[in-house]
């Protein structure tokens, strides 16, 4: 069974802010660290600790990388990435 990392909107927005700050020239590792949470919580963090790093689409999806997977039609309007985009 694969490991699952639950990210709240707050954490996702934090990662996006870090990408924006990096692009603006600020110093940031573009990462957050999630620590293990008690099993009684609904969205239990089973791993002792995991680091999640934000990477710009233009860095992650290089011209040599496989094309990204399909996005569900309901989410297409929220996804503004294009392989040729300079982000």
Q: How many CB atoms lie within 10 A of CB 54?
A: 19
What are 35's strand-pairing partners?
49
pLDDT at 87: 42
pLDDT at 84: 45
pLDDT at 21: 92
pLDDT at 25: 93
What is the reported pTM?
Answer: 0.67
pLDDT at 26: 92
For residue 7, give the 3-state DSSP assignment: coil
**Domain range summary for the chain, segments of one domain joined by +:** 9-78
Spell out, as residue ranges, where the chain has pLDDT lower than 50.
Answer: 81-87
């Amino acid at each position: 069974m694969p490991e699952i990392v639950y990210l709240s909107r707050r954490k996702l927005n934090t990662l996006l802010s870090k990408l924006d700050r990096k692009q603006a020239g600020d110093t940031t590792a573009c990462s957050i660290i999630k620590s293990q949470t008690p099993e009684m919580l609904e969205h239990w963090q089973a791993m002792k600790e995991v680091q999640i790093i934000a990477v710009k689409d233009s860095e992650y999806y290089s011209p040599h990388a496989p094309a990204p997977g399909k996005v569900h039609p309901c989410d297409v309007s929220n996804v503004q990435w294009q392989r040729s985009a300079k982000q």
